[in-house]
Structure 1
Amino acid sequence: MRVEHITVVVPAHDEEALLPRCLDGVQTAAREVSVPVTIVVVLDGCTDRSEAVARAADVDVVVLGARNVGAARRAGFDSVALRPHEWFATTDADSLVPAHWLSSHLQHASRGAQLVAGTVTVTDWSGWPDHVRSLYGSAYRSGTAHGHVHGASLGFSADLYRAVDGFAALPAHEDVDLVQRMVERGAHVVWSIDAPVETSARADARAPQGFATHLEGLQDR
């Protein structure tokens, strides 16, 4: 697939503390590719200074009051103009993409990938007992057939995204739902391991049934 433009959507709910680091990472990744990149931050029900942070970063901003991560991701992609040869990517406001994140997507797309599902890594486990880190690490598959779906590291062709009618307005697992529909459609999937995204292991979850909920389950084991 030839890619001539990339749109990256970042949903955010009260993320003023972590959003600057996230956007620095995405902007660094954008400078590493030769095609234009549009970054869209979707401020969903924010009551803090997330909007000021996003506008200071000189990115596109969508303001929403849904308090629904699926609706937020969808609103971000709905906000951009239809373009040919477009690649869509999404990450989370509490995550840090590596500098080669988008260039990795472009390499996979050039080889025919329509969907790139990446892995995540955690560097700060300070909020959890030691056994949570151990259980998480022992269960996390990291090979090229890992099968993980993380909203913090997804990329897909815009044509494929529109063909399956995009993100559903789900409060949780909207990423898994989208990928399932893409796979059922016969998409060429790459389960990428070459650009892991650093994500937060904070205990105060922003989305129900998200990563923090998964870690809470490990803590109780």
Structure 2
Amino acid sequence: MGSDATEQQRIAVCVPVRDESAHLTQLLDAFACQTAAPERFVLCLLFDGCNDDGEARVAARRPSLAFEVIVHRIERAPQANAGRARRAAMALGLSALAGAPDRDDSPGLLLSTDADSVPAPDWVEASAHALASVDVVAGYIERPDAPPQDVHRRVERYWERLRCLQRTVDPLEHDPAPSHPSQGGASLGFRAEVYQALGGFEALASHEDVGLVTAARRAGYRVRHDRTVRVATSSRIDGRASRGLAYTLRQRQTCPTPPAVQDPEAALHRYRVCAEARAAFARLDDDAVAQALATTSRVSMTRLRHLAAESGNAEAFTMYLLPEPEDTEEIALEQAEQRVALLESTYGCPCP
């Protein structure tokens, strides 16, 4: 699909809401300030059995908004389930796209954010621009209210630097360096047909977002981690997901000592092997190429060729061949920061 066609598609912004009335005014303000034309997108608010005045607050504001707002409510589950609510919000978005009066043959674009998040003024436009050339876009999530000595922000920054190193050593055309590691539901975008093909978010208590993005990469879809698609989210520690960001921030506060993190030199070795596998993907019919990768990866040539035949692209092949290790070599954060700084200098990493 050409970029011009994609950038004119109808967009549904899907937001699950659970007792977050206090955040809805700033959310609506953020969409009232979007650079995208108001007729271009529809805001779909899925109220997850809320017990506050959020729905009334939206209803009061609705007549003054230039963009369309669709509201739906589902029965409150005993325990908050981020995946269930996000899946319902996306279903509401799909319904809105299907019912658009000016709908063409394309099903449109689906964007996901959270009620406690504030998308940048160009978030809708930047997401659509990214989706003109990829299938899924994961935006950059900031926490402007993080305290100056926030341990978790330091850890986040380290992982950003490591991702930049990865994409510098093992480049992806559709996900260029500096990239970033976030795959949070506070800023995700999908071509609607891709979201449907993936089966949507699973009804998981947490990490439904990471699971779906990982599934997209394994299925051979192009996923871009785009730093120009930006959302600010809160550093609250009383979040709705049982083990989401709020849970992690709460754990960091009770244990302020920085955690151990993956050794960047060990990570670098894996990135190099991944780069070799990616380069070999389209050339495995060459016995010399296949034998070299078989030696490096310790996987037989027959198995390598079988995996390549089943993979949609080099990224999917690399993920199946070299899955993320469950146990990694870890060192103190300060030591890791020093080591990654040396590697950045060596490889010329463009991480901001």
| Same-fold call, TM cutoff 0.5 | yes
| Distance change >3 Å, CA 130–CA 147, structure 1 → 2 | closer
Q: Normalization by structure 2: what TM-score?
A: 0.57
CA distance in 1, matches of 2:86, 2:51: 19
| Distance change >3 Å, CA 138–CA 19, structure 1 → 2 | same
CA distance in 2, matches of 1:37, 1:215: 33
CA distance in 1, matches of 2:152, 2:82: 26
Equivalent of 1:75 in 50, 67, 88: 88
Residue aligning to 2:154: 135
Superposition deviation, residue 34 in structure 1: 7.5
| Distance change >3 Å, CA 34–CA 106, structure 1 → 2 | farther
After superposition, residues 139-150 of structure 1 pair within 5 angstroms as 139-141=158-160, 143=164, 144-150=178-184
| Larger helix fraction of residues | 2
- 1:124 counterpart = 2:158: no
After superposition, residues 11-160 of structure 1 pair within 5 angstroms as 11-29=16-34, 32-33=36-37, 36-58=40-62, 59-64=69-74, 65-66=76-77, 67-79=80-92, 80-81=95-96, 82=98, 84-110=106-132, 112-125=133-146, 130-132=149-151, 135-136=154-155, 138-141=157-160, 143=164, 144-160=178-194
CA distance in 2, matches of 1:210, 1:120: 14
CA distance in 2, matches of 1:151, 1:99: 18
CA distance in 1, matches of 2:156, 2:81: 29
CA distance in 2, matches of 1:212, 1:192: 23
Superposition deviation, residue 78 in structure 1: 1.6
2:146 and 2:153 in contact (8 A); partners too: no
1:119 and 1:192 in contact (8 A); partners too: yes
| Distance change >3 Å, CA 178–CA 56, structure 1 → 2 | farther
% identical equivalent positions: 34
CA distance in 2, matches of 1:18, 1:152: 14
Computing the radius of gyration from Cα coordinates, the structure with the larger value is 2
Q: Normalization by structure 1: what TM-score?
A: 0.89
| Distance change >3 Å, CA 33–CA 107, structure 1 → 2 | farther
Q: Deviations over 1:88-136 (max 9, x none)?
A: 00100001000111111121122x211000111111135xx82436534
CA distance in 2, matches of 1:96, 1:192: 17
2:202 and 2:208 in contact (8 A); partners too: yes
Q: Any stretches of 5+ residues in structure 2 without a counterpart?
A: 63-68, 165-177, 258-352
**Stretch moving more, 33-42 or 91-100:** 33-42
CA distance in 2, matches of 1:104, 1:198: 15
Q: Where has structure 1 moved over 4 Å in runs of 4 or more? A: none
What SS is found at the alignment partner of 2:227? coil
| Distance change >3 Å, CA 86–CA 71, structure 1 → 2 | same
CA distance in 1, matches of 2:214, 2:156: 25
**Letter paired with 1:5:** R
2:238 and 2:247 in contact (8 A); partners too: no
Residue aligning to 1:210: 244
CA distance in 2, matches of 1:131, 1:120: 16
**Letter paired with 2:151:** V
After superposition, residues 171-210 of structure 1 pair within 5 angstroms as 171-210=205-244
What SS is found at the alignment partner of 2:212? helix
